[in-house]
Amino acid sequence: MKNLFFASALLAVVLCPLASNAQDAKFPPVPSAPTVAHRGFSAVAPENTISSVKKAIEVGAQGCEFDVYTTTDGVLFLCHDGNLKRTTGYDCACKDVDFAKLSTLDFGSWKGEEFKGEKAATYDAALKTLKGTKTRPVIEVKANGFEDKIVEGVRKYDLVDTAIVIDFSKDRVKKIRELEPNLCCAWLCSFKVENETPQSMAQKIIDTLKECNTNVVDVEYHAVSPEFLKILDDAGITVMCWTVDDPQAIEKLVKMGVKSITTNRPDLVLKAQKEAASK
């Protein structure tokens, strides 16, 4: 019995730093978003539009990811590429367009005749559409200089506790965490998996998240493995992953217990998660 007591005490000492990190009060709770619709439900509607946001809500996705830039006159709007040409036909960098010109562009015709005339979605309109639904905003920041407006938006619609901000820039993640400590932020990252091991990828993530002052990572799905997940879970880190549409890959990730899967096909991920829960 005495040996058992000392063994238990030793184990508690070893695990204490990990448990402390996982429950650190400086980190806000991570909003639950098992299925995140990528750029809205972009498989069926033009990406980063109000139509795609509404389709994400309708299908039942718990999260709706969208990308944010700002116009030259300070209006935040949804677009993925750094140039507007692919989705509007207008060859102009997002950073160089003003809102008057942006408002004349057609963001829907490239996807299909039924979406002809779809206007640019503002950040404000996207948040307003998601407010009061069961679908959380997952906000990808695409450039510097408007971090304060990202925070202002979620505060305006009382979404601080439910939104997730994601970003490849560790500096912007850190800045947004400083502006609003109660807002969940995830560092976006990808790895050339053939050059890494689960341990090396996990360690880089742990080190970077310390710099960002957050405990959530959003990683390209090829990097995910049971060993990778365990290392990060033991360190108190929540793992989201992007962007997967293949049914077999989706099933594999669901079985591994990935907390959040970003996809262009939220219908497939929702189905896989439902089937796994029923077994």
Cα distance between residue 134 and residue 31, in whole Å: 11
- Give domain status of residue 3, yes or no: no
Tokens 């970077």 locate to 208
Distance CA 279, CA 267 (A): 19
The Cα 240–Cα 257 span in angstroms is: 10
Among 2-6, 165-169, 250-254, which is the least confidently predicted range? 2-6
Token pair of 8, please? 């238990």
The average pLDDT across 246-257 equals: 97
- Residue 228 belongs to a domain: yes
Which CATH number covers residue 203? Answer: 3.20.20.190
107 assigned to some structural domain: no
**How many percent of the chain have pLDDT more than 90?**
90
Answer yes or no: are the C-beta atoms of 161 and 182 closer than 8 Å. Answer: yes
Residue 28 located in a structural domain: no
Asked if residue 10 belongs to a domain, the reply is no
pLDDT at site 279:
86
Q: Is 87 part of any domain?
A: no
pTM above 0.75, yes or no: yes
Mean pLDDT of 77-97: 98
Q: How confident is the model at residue 7 (pLDDT cuts 50, 70, 90)?
A: very low
Q: For residue 93, how far is the Cα from the chain centroid?
A: 24
Residue 153 confidence (pLDDT) above 90: yes
Q: Tell whether 88 is covered by a domain.
A: no
Structural domains in the chain (count): 1
155-203 pLDDT, tens digit each: 999 999 999 999 999 999 999 999 999 999 999 999 999 999 999 999 9
